[in-house]
Amino acid sequence: MIARFVAFSFAISTVFSANAQSGLSFYQYVKQLEKTLVKEGSDANKTKEAFNSIKLFKKAVVVQQRQRNKVKTLDTFLPRLVNEERVNKARALYKEHLPLLKALEKKYHIQPRFLVALWGVANDFSDSVDGYNALSVLSSLAYANQQQDYYQQEIKATIDLLNTPALGVTEIKSNWTGKVGLFNIDSSQYLSSYQDYDQDGKVDIWHSMDDSFATTAKLLENIGWKEKYTWGRQVRLPKEFDSSMLEEGEYKSLSQWKELGLTRFDHSALPNAKLTAKLVAPDGLKGRIYLTYHNFEHLLALTDSMYNAIAVGYLSNRIKYPPIK
């Protein structure tokens, strides 16, 4: 226990040392941030009221650092995250929520299996989450990280959420990364796409499955999801392959990839569909290789992780096949 406390204390001092050297304490930084937001157009009184609740949330910063330092590959990550227990649970919940999912598909044009897969990867199918004060988490992460523009954008969005009467919320709770709701989305994404699908006068993405599914479906629709397409597929490369094509990250037609020697993972030919795809290899050319379609970019926008986006795609495949009766 003592060793853990010492390690935690060391991690905290290391993470916050850069800001300490700059001469700004956390609360000085928060005050500066408040002034910046007001200068950029945020209501002064509402911003001040929201900022009164902010406290330094050290745990978020330490956990973030530990996650970054973890070594993982898809070969270890996918079997753990998309195991048989989770697949079976996903298929059962797909069947249970199918009437709602079909109604959402008709309205927002999102295939149900992707909504269920996003839910499973984000929160292991939890139907209720709480968490921490989102402004405290986001401000702490902004103070400790270089990506301050991103966190400041989400802080502003969180304040806007608190001041949106249609939402009916008085506090925004997040996980330790600052993500909100059952689907772990950004505050700005929530703000842009919120849906009161159960029509109870508030948009509760922490405890209402109707609102959570509908908000996520609306978000995907807003950012350009194409219902008639899927996300991608695992492929094999020819023995002689120009690795620079991976670095280029260009979309090519499936026929072009076929000419370059790529095949499906089972060695059969790629489909003849008129689609463009991009080569993705998170673990390099010796790891798992995928051709991903444009919908994959939208999964990335919701998951912020190449590994998680691939896990969502893979889980969606396992929901679809074999067909659920």
- Measured distance CA(302)–CA(120) in Å, rounded: 13
Instruction: Quote the pTM value.
Output: 0.91
Strands (E), 172-309: 173-174, 232-236, 251-253, 263-264, 276-280, 289-292
Question: Measuring CA to CA, how many Å separate 68 from each of 61, 139, 176, 229?
Answer: 11, 19, 14, 32
- Measured distance CA(233)–CA(86) in Å, rounded: 20
**Average pLDDT value for residue range 115-140:** 96
Q: Could you confirm whether domain 2-67+133-223 is CATH 1.10.8.350?
A: yes
pLDDT of residue 70: 66
Tokens of 316: 């969606």
pLDDT tens digits for range 267-293? 999 999 899 999 999 999 999 999 999
pLDDT of residue 244: 87
Number of Cβ atoms within 10 Å of the Cβ of 282: 17
- Confidence class for position 18, pLDDT limits 50, 70, 90: low
Number of Cβ atoms within 10 Å of the Cβ of 102: 11
- Asked if 289 and 58 touch (Cβ cutoff 8 Å), the reply is no
Tokens of 273: 């569909």
- Asked if 143 and 178 touch (Cβ cutoff 8 Å), the reply is no
**Average pLDDT value for residue range 117-121:** 99
Counting residues of the chain whose pLDDT is more than 90, the rounded percentage is 78
- 19 against 179, higher pLDDT: 179
**Average pLDDT value for residue range 154-170:** 94
pLDDT of residue 63: 65
Poorest-pLDDT segment among 23-32, 90-99, 208-217, 290-299? 23-32
Please determine, for residue 62, whether its predicted confidence score (pLDDT) is greater than 80: no
pLDDT of residue 68: 63
- Residue linked to tokens 């999912």: 101
pLDDT of residue 185: 98
pLDDT of residue 80: 96
